[in-house]
Amino acid sequence: MPELPEVETVRQTLKLRILNQTIEEVGVRASRLIQPLSAQEFATILVGQILRDIDRRGKYLIFKLSQNDLVVHLRMEGRFFIKPKSADIDKHEHVIFYFTNNTTLRFHDVRKFGTFEIMPKGQGTHAKGIRKLGPEPGDPSLTADYLKAKLQSSLRPVKSLLLDQTIIAGLGNIYVDEVLYEARIHPTRPGKTLQESDFDNLCKISQRIITEAVRLGGTTIRSYVSSLGVTGRFQNQLKVHTLVGEPCQTCQTPIVKIRVGGRGTYLCPTCQK
DNA sequence: CGCAGTACCTGTAAGC
DNA sequence: TGCTTACAGGTACTGC
């Protein structure tokens, strides 16, 4: 489920519910999510710690504990649920934090792609995946000049470049399609074919779309089970993603679906050149 | 170094 | 109805 707006929504929702809770026990039912630590090592470090805050960088959540930073990535399908301790454990709930107030935080992930990494206190932003992230939409350092420097010599499709988290952090498959539609840029165009005005547009449009998506609680598609904080409303704002065959809102041309860099990609073949 | 392809894992929907 | 295949909101690794 998670691109920046969905992860931000999860962060905000969790903060309202579990801040200042003390971890009494940790259950790990799929150790691949926490490797290279063992379940025992992972639990031993975390038990007794208090959740003081939750930060976010790109698509990563950083749980600020009393003695450590716990860095979590939801990958494709990771979700958090808060349930009473007595609730049955779902087969896809792979990591469970038991708090002293009889509630639990449960990480649910059908595909087991999610990751948990324990870092020294205050060092969450130095975790492996995080330290290489580029600026997020809206970050003052994400300027037209910055994008130009990163994209103008590349032969890669602009969609792949915008999905590259080391260039821009936070965009994923849905929002990149939406940004390129608004910018009227064809996703397969090599970075080096973009013009001055394209770089400027991509900065402004990515900021606008991400801000609006955060405001609406993110996008919920294909998720019939509503999960904590991620039953968003931005799906109603989508212009191309998932809308194959629907008329383009600008020119009525049917939206088409192609594959770019292995990812399903939606666009208007008339508006996007 | 840059890049394309593959791997990771499971469930669902579409195609035969 | 079954079986097979393609695909899913992401990233890391391999090998050219």
Average pLDDT over residues A144-172: 97
Environment class of residue A27 by beta-carbon count within 10 Å: exposed (0-12), middle (13-18) or buried (19+)?
middle
Say yes or no: Cβ of A151 under 7 A from any atom of strand C. Answer: no
pLDDT of A147 over the 70 cut: yes
The verdict on whether A246 is a catalytic residue reads no
Tokens (6 digits) for A226: 């509503």
Q: Which of A15, A257, A263, A269 is catalytic?
A: A263
| Cβ A116 vs Cβ A34: under 8 Å | yes
pLDDT tens by residue, A178-219: 999 999 999 999 999 999 999 999 999 999 999 999 999 999
Average pLDDT over residues A142-148: 97
Residue A3 CA to nucleotide C5 C1', Å?
Answer: 28
Average pLDDT over residues A78-98: 97
Q: Is A119 left (phi over 0), alpha (psi -120 to 50) or beta?
A: beta
The verdict on whether A3 is a catalytic residue reads yes
| pLDDT-based confidence at residue A54 (cuts at 50, 70, 90) | very high
